[in-house]
Amino acid sequence: MKQLSYSGMSSYVRIFREAKSENNTFHSATYLVNGEFRISDIAATSPVFWDSIANMSVYYDDIFLITYPRVGTTLTQTIITNLMGRASEVVTKSTSTAFLEHISPGYKGLQRITELEQPRLIKTHLVKNLIPKDFFTKRPKTIFVIRNHFDTLVSNYHLYKSSPILRVLYPDITFDTFFEMFVTKGEQINGSWFRWHKLWLDYATFQGKSHCLILNYEDIVLDKKTAIDKITKFLDITTSEDTVNAAIVASDFDHMKKLYTNVFPPNFVRKGEIGTGKSFFNQMQRKLFTKKVNDELEKHLDILRCGQF
Asked if residue 142 lies in contact with residue 212, where contact means CB atoms within 8 angstroms, the answer is: yes
Over residues 45-63, the mean pLDDT reads 94
What CA–CA distances, in Å, run from 186 to 159, 208, 221?
16, 25, 28
Q: φ, ψ for residue 105 (rounded to 5)?
A: -55, 120
Rounded percentage of the chain residues whose pLDDT exceeds 70: 90
In sequence order, what are the residues at sequence separation of 6 or more whose Cβ sits closer than 8 angstroms to the Cβ of residue 151? 217, 273, 274, 275, 276, 277, 309
Asked which of 20-29, 59-68, 150-159, 193-202 is least confident by mean pLDDT, the reply is 20-29
Most confidently modeled of 89-103, 111-125, 267-281? Answer: 111-125
Length of the chain: 309
Residue type, 211: H
Looking at residue 292, what is its pLDDT? Answer: 97
Residue 121, beta-bridge partner list:
63, 97
Ramachandran angles phi, psi of 256, nearest 5°: -65, -35
As a whole number of angstroms, the longest Cα–Cα distance in the chain is: 56
The Cα 167–Cα 20 span in angstroms is: 10
Distance CA 108, CA 113 (A): 9
* Local structure of 103: helix, strand or coil: strand
Region for 215 from its dihedrals, namely left if φ exceeds 0, alpha if ψ lies in -120 to 50, beta otherwise: beta
75: amino acid identity, one letter: L
- Whether 298 shows a pLDDT value over 80: the answer reads yes
**277 pLDDT band (50/70/90 cuts)?**
confident
Statement: residue 92 has pLDDT above 50: no
Neighbours of 302 (CB within 10 A): 8
**Confidence bin at 271 (pLDDT 50/70/90):** low
Alpha-carbon dihedral sign for residues 255, 258, 263, 269: positive
Q: Give the pLDDT band of residue 5 (cuts 50, 70, 90).
A: confident
Closest to 50 in 3D by CA, of 111, 132, 134: 132
CA distance 142 to 212: 5
